[in-house]
Structure 1
Amino acid sequence: MTANVNIAIKHTSLLISGALLGLLHAGLANASGYPVTVQSCDRQVTFDHAPKAAVSNDVNLTEMMLALGLQDHMAGFTGVSGWKTLDPTLRNGIGELKELSPKYPSKEVLLGADADFYFAGWNYGMRVGGGVTPDTLAPLGIKVYELTESCIHIMDKPKVSMDDLYIDLLNLGRIFDKEEQAQSLVKGYQEDLTNFQANLTPLKTIPKVFVYDSGEEQPFTSGRYGMPTALIEAAGGKNIVDDVQKSWTQIGWEAVIDRAPEFIIIVNYGDVTAEQKINFLRSNPAFKNIPAVKNNHFVILEYIEATPGPRNINAIKRLAEAFRTAL
């Protein structure tokens, strides 16, 4: 089993999909200027120049923009304070940028900001059939780039991997004429993760992990296409609902009890604190025999760590260390 764990980790750390390699080459090919065309879910979007009044939705997407130094190209951000507290590090990076809407923006909010670009995702600022989508914003002159992890809501895609994050950063680099910065950032993440994994103590067995986002009657969790699955696998574990063909979804508690996770990741955000979620799990007699609950094996990840973004590598490190400290 140890060999299998090591092979899985090595595969995760070295995986660079054909799409990702294509982006690297395409970025170099288009380094001389515009137009550039990027793949956004099932669409191709062409840019004749870098957006000048971009809006990002949610903390993790906003931090991707900040990681590439795109503040001067931004009109503001949306979708943070309505659900989450603005992280101090993120607040410092944002500087003078304003939050245009505490939750998902309307078309009127984006028009009021003279936005020419919206970086969002399905259930990260847009809803299928909602009022703000690539189709509804196109007539207003607002181009949309969709978060790769979220594409599963509208099309088939491969199982989530760290490539989902890398592709988004590389595409943003191309859109905003920051190819070199994006490639350097992605290369740094890849090397950091590979070096970290190479020095990990081998695990005797693969830890079974459950992601608890929220909900008491039915837990909201992350399945095969949600970023936590990629984080768990990169750390050497396995998501117990890896067979659920969703990104973020509700399941029944019976499945959690039956699959007996050895670790529970608590996603921390919103009105219910991580400690309150842990207390709920500890106090319910139905959960007393779940190994993670019985052994107090909880790992708290902030929302910004559990969703695609620059903090994913550190989240993997924390998970990997927790798996090895407890087992």
Structure 2
Amino acid sequence: MNRIFLAGCAILLGAAPAFAYPVTVKSCNRDVTFDAAPQRAVSNDVNLTEMMLALKLEDRMVGYTGVSGWKTLDERLREGVKELPELAEKYPTKEVLLNADADFLFAGWNYGMKVGGEVTPETLSPFGIKVYELTESCIHIMSKGKPTMEDMFVDLLNLGRIFGVEERAEDLVEGYRRQLAEITGKIKDARRPTRVFVYDSGEEKPFTSGRYGIPTAMIEAAGGNNIMDDVEKSWTEISWEPVIDRDPEVVVIVNYGEVTAEQKIAFMKNNPAFKTIEAVKNDRFVVLDYVEATPGPRNVDAIERLAKSFHAEVM
């Protein structure tokens, strides 16, 4: 009788979920331990919010921040968050998070948090609000290599562990990895990488993505080179001179805000200073919505579109 009982216990213990708490994840240069899954989470920015939605974590959220103020909300996301309130149009304040009785914030450096700002892991810790930082953004507080798509995958897997949906996260990431492998397999015989410039905004001086922004990883996965790969920043303002000198074959337009993608393209096509740029001469522009050009679930589909633009001969 005792043997049967002990055997039954062993079976039950063996069936215990792999995400039993506590769990510890690496967030930038910190180890963060969770004794239980957060129940009142807040995400900042459209791409981080979509990561939460992709993992079906709406029922663990009390709201989101930082979307409508940047005009990045589209129909697809609007449908996903229709049951959730937007707690702040731009960056959240400590007061906003405390009023929501939040117990978790998914944000990043320059994605809802600023170094030395009011809302950081250290300032929220005394109030019992734990923070997980977007991996791409860690470059703002620590030394880090240039991003790859694994950075986004790691964030999804860590969120899966934090919220006890590890299998769901693994299935999602495995699907992305398969899709990415199919894309890279098709372009492996492309004659050479395509020269690419990322144009976010600005006329006097363009705002672009440098070495440490996720567009660099996306462009490389699609068989291109970011012509600003030597700029040791994630996103930054530069001058137009190096853009003209490096002669991109394709310009990736980041679409959001008051100035439309069409207006940005028209600005480049109608400016005599850019008439020698190959991308302008050949009308080779690719438009990515903000949510596609920042780390999140739409990245891999965007990489496929980039690859088709860069290497139509093999795609």
TM more than 0.5: yes
Q: Distance in 2 between matches of 1:135 and 1:198?
A: 44
2:223 is the alignment partner of 1:223:
no
Q: 2:176 aligns with which of 170, 176, 189?
A: 189
Matched, 1:39 2:26: yes
Contact 2:197 2:228 in 1 (8 A): yes
Partner residue of 2:75 out of 69, 76, 88 = 88
Q: What's the secondary structure of 1:129's corresponding residue?
A: coil
Matches within 5 A, 1:173-188: 173-188=160-175
TM-score, L = length of structure 1: 0.89
Question: What whole-Å deviation, never above 9, does each CA across 1:102-137 have from its counterpart, x for those lacking one?
Answer: 000100000111000000000100011111111111
Is the Cα–Cα contact under 8 Å of residues 105 and 132 in structure 2 kept in the other structure?
Answer: yes
TM superposition shift of 1:244: 1.0
Asked whether the equivalents of residues 201 and 324 of structure 1 are also in contact (C-alpha less than 8 Å), the reply is no
For 1:190, what is the secondary structure of its paired residue? helix
Name the aligned partner's letter for residue 178 of structure 2.
E
Kept in 2, the 8 Å contact 1:119–1:145? The answer is yes
Could you give the per-residue CA deviations for residues 258-288 of structure 1, whole angstroms, max 9, x where no partner exists? Answer: 1110000000000000011111111111111
- Provide the secondary structure at the position in 1 that maps to 2:70: coil
The answer (yes or no) to whether the contact 2:19–2:164 under 8 Å persists in 1 is no
Match for residue 157 of structure 1 among 133, 137, 144: 144
CA distance in 2, matches of 1:324, 1:38: 38
Query: What is the identity, as a one-letter code, of the residue corresponding to 1:169?
Result: L
2:194 corresponds, among 191, 207, 211, to 207
SS in 2 for 1:308: coil
Is the alpha carbon distance of 1:221 and 1:30 closer, same or farther for their aligned partners in structure 2, counting shifts above 3 Å? farther
Provide the C-alpha distance between the structure 2 equivalents of 1:271 and 1:41, rounded to a whole number of angstroms: 33
Task: Return the match for 1:245 from 227, 232, 249.
Answer: 232
SS at match of 1:199: helix
Taking the aligned partners of 2:19 and 2:305, their CA distance within structure 1 comes to 40
CA deviation digits over 1:216-243, x for unaligned, max 9? 1111100111010011000000000111
Deviations 1:61-98 (A, max 9, x none): 00000000000100000000001241111111223111
Distance 1:151 1:118 in 2: 15
Are 1:312 and 2:299 counterparts? Answer: yes
Q: Per chain length, whose mean CA-contact separation is higher, i.e. which structure has more relative contact order (CA < 8 Å, sep 6+)?
A: 1
Q: Deviations over 1:188-238 (max 9, x none)?
A: 100111123323473222110000000111111001110100110000000
Gap regions ≥5 residues in structure 1: 1-28
Residues 59-74 of structure 1 aligned to structure 2 (within 5 Å): 59-74=46-61
Question: Whole-Å Cα distance in 2 between the matches of residues 201 and 159 of structure 1?
Answer: 21
Alignment TM-score, normalising by the size of structure 2: 0.92
Identity of aligned residues (%): 68
- Which residue does the alignment assign to 1:302? 289
Alignment-derived partner of residue 16 in structure 1: none
Q: Equivalent residue of 2:77, what SS?
A: helix
Distance, in Å, in 2 between the alignment partners of 1:138 and 1:43 is 13
1:263 and 1:110 map into 2 onto residues whose CA distance is 42
Map Cα deviations across residues 132-191 of structure 1 (whole Å, 9 max, x no partner).
111111111110000000000000111110011011001000000011011111111001
Name stretches of at least 5 consecutive residues in structure 2 with no aligned partner: 1-15
Give the number of equivalent residue pairs. 299
Matching residue of 2:13: none
Cα pair distance change 1:43/1:58, threshold 3 Å: same
One-letter identity of the residue aligned with 1:105: P
Classify 1:142/1:32 alpha carbon distance in 2 versus 1 (closer, same or farther; 3 Å).
Answer: closer
Distance, in Å, in 1 between the alignment partners of 2:290 and 2:104 is: 24
Aligned partner letter, 1:106? T
Q: Which residue of 2 aligns with 1:8?
A: none
Aligned AA for 1:101?
A
Compute the RMSD of aligned alpha carbons: 1.5
Distance 2:183 2:286 in 1: 19
Residue 109, structure 1, aligned to residue 78, structure 2: no
Asked if the contact 1:297/1:326 (under 8 Å) is kept, the reply is no
Q: 2:108 aligns with which of 115, 121, 141?
A: 121
8 Å contact from structure 2 (residues 19, 161) kept in 1: no
Distance 1:174 1:223 in 2: 31
Q: CA deviation at 1:32?
A: 4.8
Task: State which structure, 1 or 2, has the greater radius of gyration over its C-alpha atoms.
Answer: 2
Residues 19 and 165 in structure 2, CA contact (< 8 A), matched pair in contact too: no
Q: In 1, distance between residues paired with 2:149 and 2:142? A: 19
Q: Give SS of 1:121's match.
A: strand
Q: Which residue of 2 aligns with 1:258?
A: 245
